[in-house]
Amino acid sequence: MFLQAVRIGTLLTGQYPAGKFDKMLDLEDPYKFKCRVIAVQPRTQGSFLGYYRTYRLRGPARIAVLPAGYVDGLGLSVQNPPNGLWDMIKLLLKQMLGYLGIRGFTLQVKIGEAFYPVRGKIFMQNCLVELPEDSPVKAGDEVELPVRKTLAAKNIRHLYINTGDINVQDVEARDTDVGNITAGEIFLPVKNIQGQE
């Protein structure tokens, strides 16, 4: 028996399922994790960043401090054990490219329309971002972080946006009933400083 229904699955979250497709859709992930820059400080070439001085600046830069860290889900990932030798080689190669600082394999945040690298080890509640010396980024600027929705802390403030209207809800847990959320609405957790939006 065949029915006329479609199982949308991950398309709702802006992700394509595995496989090749003749026609691609213009999908956008409705989930975003944001915070604001809390401080920006200049640093000279050779300055160390992070726990145990894990990153050394290759040139003079400005360092942005963000109020997001491991406790919020930043830098966390889920990884299955390798499924064979080739799978293990790919995982090791990704780790090595990240260690070498190759863009696309390192943690990046988005400030405005530009992407900047997270440097040093991530702290429990903060992280450090390297900015060029001439960057216009300042304290209070909005930052989009690569936090997986399944690993984001449960106590993060949530905003649900639908065609310009914002409904703010403080959610104690992910399984809390948050009311009628339709497929057209955007799920947007935001972590603010000093109540700014």
- Please choose, from the candidates 15, 128, 3, the residue with its C-alpha nearest in 3D space to the C-alpha of residue 62: 128
Q: Which of 8-12, 17-21, 135-139, 173-177 has the highest mean pLDDT?
A: 135-139
Q: Is residue 12 part of a domain?
A: no
Q: Rounded distance, CA 116 to CA 154, Å?
A: 26
Express each pLDDT in 16-52 by its tens digit.
777 777 877 777 777 888 899 999 999 999 999 988 8
For tokens 């090791």, name the residue.
92
Q: What are residue 92's phi and psi, to 5 degrees? A: -65, -40
> Are 13 and 148 contacting, i.e. CB atoms less than 8 angstroms apart?
no
Q: Is residue 149 part of a domain?
A: yes
Express each pLDDT in 79-121 by its tens digit.
888 999 999 999 999 999 988 888 888 999 999 999 999 999 9
> Are 122 and 55 contacting, i.e. CB atoms less than 8 angstroms apart?
no
Q: Is residue 138 part of a domain?
A: yes
Q: Is residue 20 part of a domain?
A: no
**Model pLDDT, residue 13:** 74
CATH number of the domain encompassing residue 31: 2.40.37.10
Q: Is residue 153 part of a domain?
A: yes
Q: How many domains does the chain have?
A: 1
* Sheet containing 158-162, strands listed edge to edge, beginning at the edge strand earlier in sequence: 165-169, 158-162, 186-189
**In this predicted structure, which of 15-24, 120-129, 180-189 has the lowest mean pLDDT?**
180-189
Locate all alpha helices (DSSP H) within the chain, ordered by sequence: 85-99
Supply the pTM of this predicted model. Answer: 0.74
Q: Is residue 40 part of a domain?
A: yes
Beta bridge partner(s), residue 165: 162
* Sheet containing 142-145, strands listed edge to edge, beginning at the edge strand earlier in sequence: 33-36, 142-145, 108-111, 114-119, 127-131, 61-66, 39-43
Residues spanned by the domain of 93: 25-189
Express each pLDDT in 148-159 by its tens digit.
888 888 878 777
pLDDT at 184 > cutoff 50: no
| Mean per-residue pLDDT over the chain, rounded | 79
Q: Own/partner pairs for 179-186, CB < 8 Å, 24+ apart?
A: 183/12, 185/30, 185/160, 185/161, 186/30, 186/31, 186/32, 186/160, 186/161, 186/162
Q: Is residue 8 part of a domain?
A: no
Q: Is residue 13 part of a domain?
A: no
